[in-house]
Structures are given as structure tokens and as C-alpha cells.
Amino acid sequence: MRLYAIDSWDNERFYVKTKGRVITSRQFVHNRGVKICGVGNWKEEFVVLDVTFGHTDRRLDLWFESSLNEHANNESWGFSDV
Ligand SMILES: [Ca+2]
Ligand SMILES: [Ca+2]
């Protein structure tokens, strides 16, 4: 998946989980990347998260979470290509 970290991330983490288990995470800061969108002078960073893991259930639930602690107009994330 492509993950986009937008605006004022300050060492917070993004998590991909299944069944309560973290299968990958990534930490971001606002001064890496390039200024593309959002507010102020905060930069955006995007990364490709390429994760392989086994599962046997017919259904797979993926949870995308972060430890962001401010409003979405200050720090947020998006994704594509899951
Ligand atoms: Ca920005
Ligand atoms: Ca924050």
C-alpha cells in the first residue's frame, strides 16, 4: 500500500493491524518529504508499505490506525493501492 503522512506528524506512528496484532508500523515526522497539501509549512511524506504475512481464515480484516493526537486539519494520513 501507499501511505501518505500529511502535515504535522511529530514522531507519531501509523499501524496496520489484523486481529489486534501489528503487522507493520512506521514513524513519521513533519520535516521529511515535500510540501504538497494541507496547512502551513508542514511537509508530506509517502512511503510504500510492502508486507507479507500468512493467514488461514476466509476473511481478512485489516485495521489502519495511528497515534496522531491532534485534529485532522493539523495532522492526518491517507492511503491507496492496498
Ligand atoms: Ca503540508
Ligand atoms: Ca501530534
Q: What is the Å distance from ligand 1's center to 57 Cα?
A: 39
pLDDT confidence bin for 11, thresholds 50/70/90:
very high
- CA dist 71 and 74 (Å) reads 6
Measure the CA–CA gap between 56 and 25, rounded to whole angstroms.
Answer: 22
In the predicted structure, residue 75 carries a pLDDT above the cut 90: yes
Average pLDDT over residues 17-31: 95
Kindly give the distance from the C-alpha atom of residue 70 to the centroid of ligand 1, in angstroms, as a whole number. Answer: 15
Cα(76) to centroid of ligand 2, in Å? 9
Pair 63, 35: CB distance under 8 Å: no
Q: How far, in Å, is the centroid of ligand 1 from the Cα of 68?
A: 15
pLDDT digits (tens, 9 = 90+) for 28-63: 999 999 999 998 899 999 999 999 999 999 999 999
| pLDDT score at 40 | 85
Coil vs helix vs strand at 69:
coil
- The whole-number average pLDDT for the span 61-77 is 96
How far is the centre of ligand 1, averaged over its atoms, from the C-alpha of 43 (Å)?
A: 4
